[in-house]
Every structure is written in C-alpha cells, then in structure tokens.
C-alpha cells in the first residue's frame, strides 16, 4: 500500500506549504522555508511539481517566473521555474531519466529555499521534468514502497531517447528535449548545471565535469547524518578518477569513461554544454534503497572468481528474458509512434547490452577489460548491474504484455514473468540487505549536496 502524507502536514509539493502567508497579500516570501522539515512520504509526480510551481509563481510573481522552454517529442511543454534575482545563473535539471523520481521533490525544496534567500544574487532555474514522455510511462512508481512495486511501473528509454545522452552517441541524435536544454544553457550561461539522478539500490555519489574541491565534505556529512552510504566504486563512473570519496571527475577526451558495452561519450552529452561559457555540471545520485556494501573499500578476497561468477549470471539472466522476448514477439507493438514501441525498443536494447557487459568484466573472455580497484565496493557495483539490467528488461516486457498485448494467449507468460520479476526483486534486495531511504531523506540529501555544489562553484567565479 502506498504511504500517505499525514493530514495536516503538507508535502513538499503541496501548495498548502504557503498557507499562512496567503492571508496577507503584502507579505513577502517566508524568511527561511528551507528550515521546514521535509514532509513527503511519496515522490511528487511531474503534475504535482507543475502545480506547485504554478502556485509559487502566482503567489510571488516578482520572484518566480514559469516559462516553457520547448516541447517534448509528443508535444508536452517543458517547463522551467526561475526563482530569485541577480546576475548569476544556476541551472538544475530533474527527470532526465524518467525512472528516477527524486528530482522533482528536490527542485521544489530548492525553490522554497531560494524564496528564503538561499544564494542571494543567483537566479535558480529549475527544469521541472526533462523527459515528460518517459515520465508518463513510469506512472505508479512514484508511490511504490517496495522494490517489486518500483519495477512493476518501470520504464527506461534507450540511450537515443534520453535527452542528456542522445547527443553523446556515435551517431548523435538531438531530441527536442536535448535542444531545449542546450538552448537554455547557451542563453543563460549558467556557472553550474546540476543534474538530479537516482538509483534503485546502492549509495550516493557525484560526478563532476570539472573538479570543485570541498563538495565531498558536505556529501559525506549529509550522507552520514541521513543514513546513506557513500558509493566508492560505481560502474557509471568506472574510469572517472575520484577526487575525494564519492566524488568522481570526468577524464580527458579520448580516455575510457564507462564499460565498453555503453557507447555514450560524456564529452558530447549535454553535461559539457556549460563549459562553453565557463561553467560545469555536477551529476548527483541518491539511492532509493541503501546498501552498505557499495561503500566497502576492503579488497575482495577472490575478485577474479567473483567477476567471472557475475558475468555468467548476467548471461544466464539475459538468456531467460530473451526466451520470453522471443516467445512474446508476435504480440508486441509494431514500429511506430506508439509508446509501446519505445518500450519494446528499450527491452531489446537492454538485452543487447547484457552480453558485451558480461564479456567486459569476465577475466576468461577476450573482451575482458581490467577493472581498477577490485574492492568489495567494486564487486558490489558489478553485482548490482548484473541483477538490475536483466530485471529491467523483464519488468518492461511484463508491462508490454499487460498493457499492449493483453490477449488470452499471453496470460500464462504474464504469470510467469510476474513471478520472475518478484523473485529477482526479492533476491536483489536480500543480497545487499537493502534498507529503504525515506523519500524526505533522499530529497534532503540532494538539496544539501546541490546547495553545496552551487556554493563551491560560486566561490570559483571570477570577480564581476
């Protein structure tokens, strides 16, 4: 059952947070809305975020401006809330990956803090949801409080349908959402862009396109206070050198970045666009379920055996889902604009990457790429990918059969797939002894690290 916000305690995305000020039209913003405790037990949906942004703009027209910066591939407006006054610009982006829900709540808390005077002289530009089309295919996940519930609403598009990554492929694709974001960056020239991300099971970490010393202190202190491990060896930052615990810096052009199974090049992504104007990007990750193993720097006693084991497990898992995919193929959506075809492409692409990914970390395979720092944290990240990647494919295939091919002939396969997804979710959570991080803590941590990153970046600006 979905957790509900107790009555009388408005959620961060509830316009009732403004109640009390509204009775006096002469009243300015609250002195420090950021001091209010975070009061949400489920993630705000993109619609919740938009409604609250509209309420803030109506209440504080001199300080808040809500603009449309473009439209999605399916014609949904891309909205940006700008808060504050001043010559400097900070850009924060939520919803780049539609299966990562925390960013909307973080944006709204940042808006309330900006109204209370956070970083005077800086205008906070908050992109409410960069991929609203993908978000519509994840409806239901905002209320999930189990890993199984999370995956029952799961959708993650292929890289060429992700606004941040589509320009970074060997054959770049500039989606309308990508162009809208790039246009905003070139128009505003932000000194920092923050991209808000999340993961299902793991820890927190930051990826920087340019090193800014000091961010690690806030990340570590906030994580410790909120019970979130600092992830020390994420596969997403496989070849990004750490500048401090949990902080990874983009390597130079031409150097390896991620596992070779992933063709994206971060130097061509939207993350690098602020560099043209002297800025940089910080990508902030926070987990839904925390697992201490992702922070364990102890050397693994048998790393090669562990790598080979998880390479073989990934191949086996992918083989199982591939069999279901072939069985379901006659019932799946045909090529076209239907969202179901995007989901079908996502299943196929997720399955495609499993083999090369397993080969890249299998010491017995010719494609093996030596991995730096074979600690328990590194092998935990590899196990996480080995479990998560085929689970994503299975979960999306189940949704395809339920929502786009609910024919009597697929009933038994739907039952089998649902049991498979449930079993894999249970094993995934149990393997890491994963504990839920309450949504308010996820938001609070992202807000803490975001404001610290903005402050650190501001400290390195040339005097105006």
Whole-angstrom distance, CA of residue 264 vs CA of residue 158: 11
Length of the chain: 464
CA 229 → CA 145, 147, 206, 429, distances in Å? 20, 18, 13, 16
Whole-angstrom distance, CA of residue 9 vs CA of residue 369: 52
Task: Answer whether residue 4 is part of any domain.
Answer: no
Which residue has tokens 């328990």?
A: 376
Contact 82/123 with Cβ under 8 angstroms?
A: yes
SS3 340: helix
Whole-angstrom distance, CA of residue 173 vs CA of residue 282: 23
Is the same domain home to 446 and 315?
no
Task: Answer whether residue 3 is part of any domain.
Answer: no
Is the same domain home to 426 and 441?
no
- Domain CATH code at residue 152: 3.40.630.10
Task: Answer whether residue 297 is part of any domain.
Answer: no
Residue 27, phi-psi category: left (phi > 0), alpha (psi -120 to 50), beta (remainder): beta
Domain that holds residue 191: 15-291+437-459
Whole-angstrom distance, CA of residue 322 vs CA of residue 389: 12
Ordered mean pLDDT values, 10 residues apiece, the chain (464 residues) = 31 40 32 41 94 98 98 98 97 98 98 90 98 95 94 97 96 96 98 98 98 95 98 95 97 90 93 97 99 98 96 99 97 91 97 98 92 92 98 98 87 97 98 97 98 92 60
Query: So what's the pLDDT on residue 35?
Result: 32
Q: How many CA atoms lie within 13 A of 9 on its CB side?
A: 10
Is the same domain home to 249 and 105?
yes
Is the same domain home to 400 and 444?
no
Q: How many CA atoms lie within 13 A of 263 on its CB side?
A: 13
Is the same domain home to 321 and 339?
yes
Task: Answer whether residue 2 is part of any domain.
Answer: no
Is the same domain home to 353 and 383?
yes
Is the same domain home to 265 and 319?
no
Whole-angstrom distance, CA of residue 131 vs CA of residue 84: 25
Segment (H or E) for 289:
strand 280-290
Domains contained in the chain, number: 2
Task: Answer whether residue 464 is part of any domain.
Answer: no
Query: So what's the pLDDT on residue 39?
Result: 53
SS3 56: helix
Query: So what's the pLDDT on residue 40?
Result: 60
Q: Would the pTM count as exceeding 0.85? A: yes
Task: Answer whether residue 10 is part of any domain.
Answer: no
Is the same domain home to 98 and 178?
yes
Query: So what's the pLDDT on residue 138?
Result: 95
DSSP per-residue codes, 209-251? SS--TTHHHHHHHHHHHHT-PBPSS-GGGTTSPEEETTEEEPP
Is the same domain home to 328 and 314?
yes
Is the same domain home to 244 and 311?
no
Task: Answer whether residue 296 is part of any domain.
Answer: no
Segment (H or E) for 87:
none
Is the same domain home to 286 and 256?
yes
Task: Answer whether residue 257 is part of any domain.
Answer: yes
Is the same domain home to 282 and 330?
no
Whole-angstrom distance, CA of residue 233 vs CA of residue 240: 10
């Amino acid at each position: 059952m979905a957790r509900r916000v107790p009555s009388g305690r408005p959620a961060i995305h509830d316009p009732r947070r403004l109640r009390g000020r509204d009775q006096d039209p002469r009243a300015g913003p609250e002195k420090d809305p950021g001091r209010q405790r975070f009061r949400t037990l489920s993630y705000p949906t993109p619609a919740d975020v938009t409604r609250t942004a509209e309420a803030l703009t109506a209440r504080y027209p001199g300080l808040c401006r809500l603009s449309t910066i473009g439209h999605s591939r399916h014609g949904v407006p891309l909205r940006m809330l700008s808060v504050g006054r001043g010559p400097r610009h900070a850009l924060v982006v939520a919803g780049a990956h539609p299966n990562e829900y925390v960013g909307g709540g973080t944006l709204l808390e940042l808006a309330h803090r900006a109204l209370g005077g956070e970083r005077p002289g800086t205008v906070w530009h908050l992109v409410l949801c960069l991929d609203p089309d993908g978000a519509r295919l994840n409806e239901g996940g905002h209320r999930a409080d189990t890993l199984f519930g999370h995956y029952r609403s799961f959708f993650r598009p292929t890289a060429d349908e992700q606004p941040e990554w589509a320009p970074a492929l060997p054959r770049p694709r500039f989606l309308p959402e990508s162009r809208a974001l790039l246009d905003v960056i070139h128009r505003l020239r932000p000194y920092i862009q923050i991209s808000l991300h999340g993961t299902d099971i793991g820890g927190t970490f930051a990826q920087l396109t340019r090193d800014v010393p000091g961010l690690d202190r806030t990340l570590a202190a906030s994580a410790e206070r909120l019970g979130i491990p600092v992830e020390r060896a994420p596969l997403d930052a496989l070849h990004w050198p750490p500048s401090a615990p949990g902080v990874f810096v983009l390597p130079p052009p031409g150097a390896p970045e991620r596992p070779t199974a992933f063709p994206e090049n971060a130097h061509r992504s939207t993350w690098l666009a602020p560099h043209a104007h002297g800025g940089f990007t910080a990508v902030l990750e926070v987990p839904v379920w925390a697992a201490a193993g992702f922070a364990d720097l102890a050397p693994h006693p048998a790393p090669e055996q562990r790598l080979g084991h998880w390479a073989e497990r990934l191949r086996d898992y992918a083989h199982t889902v591939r069999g279901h995919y072939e069985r379901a193929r006659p019932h799946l959506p045909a090529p076209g604009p239907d969202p179901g075809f995007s989901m079908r492409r996502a299943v196929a692409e997720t399955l495609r990457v499993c083999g090369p990914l397993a080969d890249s970390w299998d010491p017995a395979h010719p494609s093996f790429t030596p991995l730096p720092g074979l600690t328990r944290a590194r092998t935990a990240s590899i196990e996480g990918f080995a479990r998560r990647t085929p689970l994503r494919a299975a979960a999306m295939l189940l949704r395809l059969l339920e929502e786009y091919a609910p024919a009597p002939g697929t009933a038994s396969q739907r039952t089998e797939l649902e049991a498979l997804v449930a079993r894999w979710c249970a094993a995934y959570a149990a393997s890491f002894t994963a504990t839920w991080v309450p949504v308010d803590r996820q938001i609070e941590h992202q807000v803490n690290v975001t404001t610290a990153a903005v402050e650190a970046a501001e400290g390195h600006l040339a005097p105006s």
